[in-house]
Amino acid sequence: MKCPSCDKRVTGSRCSCGWADVAIAAGVRPTCSWTSESRTCAMITTASGLCAWHRDWLRLIDDGAPGRTDHEEFADWWDQFQPYGAYGSHPGPWWAAIDVLWAALRGLSTAPMLTKEIDRELFLRRSEVHRYEHGLSTLKAPWVRVTGLPLPPWSAELWHTKVDARVAQRNKVERETVKV
């Protein structure tokens, strides 16, 4: 974000020149400017003014018709932010259940808040995935597990399948790289 007073780049809610964004300083998070059906997306904005999903959706449209609905594309995009996905260790605001996020993207609800209990649960899920990938047994949780919305369901069969597929793909790429 640029400071409206001196045009320097601002990373927080204040600039070195003394200017302060009152909304950010007060704890109000800027939200995405995407509007659909007269409702505005409730997800946190990026520098472009759009949330990460709507920025990616525009890229898909610009590259050519995706051939699938925005919900189908979102489901695939969302999957990478789950504990078994490529960005599972840093999911940002995309950690929540797909239905909860979809409602927020459509402006039907607010974006889910990450509480300390949910953050711990996500840590345990990432730990389980990591231990499974490396052939280690899962340890007993040091605190009470959390389930239900806004967290996505956590089925061992589902995430084992996804992790196995990702490991197989990674091994295939490594074998092909060694041959070359």
Peptide bond just before 150 cis, omega within 30 deg: yes
Give the length of the chain. Answer: 180
Q: Mind listing the pLDDT tens digit for each residue in 78-100?
A: 999 999 988 988 898 899 999 99
Mean pLDDT of 31-49: 85
The two most distant CA atoms of the chain are separated, in Å, by 59
In the structure, what pLDDT confidence band is assigned to residue 124 with cuts at 50, 70 and 90? very high
In the structure, what pLDDT confidence band is assigned to residue 121 with cuts at 50, 70 and 90? very high
Q: Which amino acid is present at 173?
A: V
> What is the C-alpha separation between 2 and 53, in angstroms, rounded?
23
Q: Mind listing the pLDDT tens digit for each residue in 148-179?
A: 889 899 888 889 998 998 888 888 887 887 76
Q: Is the pTM value of this prediction over 0.85?
A: no
Helix, strand, or coil (residue 42) = coil
> Which is higher by pLDDT, 153 or 137?
153
Question: What residues have CB less than 8 Å from 112, skipping those under 6 apart?
Answer: 93, 96, 100, 101, 104, 150
Classify each residue of 117-127 as buried b or exposed e, where b means 16 or more C-beta atoms within 10 Å of its C-beta.
ebebbbebbbe
